[in-house]
Amino acid sequence: MDVGELTFDVTVGGPDRGPWVLLLHGFPVNGQCYDAVVPRLHEAGLRTIVPNQRGYSPGARPSEVAAYRIDHLVADAIGILDAMNVHYALLVGHDWGGLVAWHLASRYPDRFTGFVAVSTGHPLATRDSLATSDQRERSSYIKDFIADGAEEKLLARDGVLLRRAGVTAEELQPLKEPGALTAGLNWYRANFTGDIAKTMSCGPVEIPTTMVWSDGDAALGREQAERSGRYAYSDFRFCVLPGIDHWIPQKAPAELASEISLRSAVF
């Protein structure tokens, strides 16, 4: 799917009629992270749009770090909806996809019927939690991701560091394409350096929102998730998945699909 000068790989499916759901993946796994979620959404009568986002689609992999600023990532998602002539969709985002989705929900409330944030809280809630919880320690890995040579370290010994973090061998394969892992890391380099507060500044969300968080998440603590309700001005539901690690779409697809279906019925 062409959006401007970039070409995105987008998987579309579901019944001929029914509400659209836009699902945005995070780092480092592309849209295949939702493979076990999507069939359940189709069974619930929902149609799905799952793009491999900027850097994860070979045809949308610019070399400049600045090309991965949050504004570009947000514009890509709107561009994909426009290219499909989709005026309204339910919004879902996990990990980095969640950060993009919070900005989408805040900036384009007229385009989304509701929002399901997965793992990643509102950027201002995350900012708050850095000072009042262990979130700063949990986020310390970011400095390694933005460092020179991060690609080589993450792919060394067949990607052992990523595999220890929970990435499967199958999910690792696309990251071995030329420039793929660099592009994924550029999301961090473009947005978590310099004036981070200004770059990631996000307004409140005024559409019905569900926050899905798992208590086994090593990177994202409860406070940043639960506090997101302060920045969600419409109906807000906080859902905790016990015993699940960070990889909610892969480890708890039935539970996530249920929450997405429940939120789709609100509108």
Yes or no: say if 118 and 249 are a contact pair by the CB < 8 Å rule. Answer: yes
* Residue 158, token pair as written in the block: 């067949």
List, in sequence order, every residue forming a beta bridge with 10; answer none if it has no partner: 51
Instruction: For the chain, give the number of residues.
Output: 267
Block residue for tokens 């770090």: 65
- The first and second tokens of residue 104, run together, are 């989408």
CA dist 29 and 106 (Å) reads 25
Mention every residue, 6+ apart, whose C-beta is less than 8 A from residue 137.
none
Is residue 227 within 8 Å of residue 134, measured between CB atoms? no
C-alpha 144/C-alpha 203 separation (Å) is 28
Q: Which residues carry out catalysis?
A: 95, 188, 246
Amino acid at site 146: I
Is the CB of residue 117 less than 8 Å from the CB of residue 209?
Answer: yes
What are the start-end ranges of the E strands in the chain? Answer: 2-3, 6-7, 10-13, 20-24, 47-51, 89-94, 112-118, 209-214, 236-241
Contact (Cβ atoms closer than 8 angstroms) between residue 260 and residue 41: yes
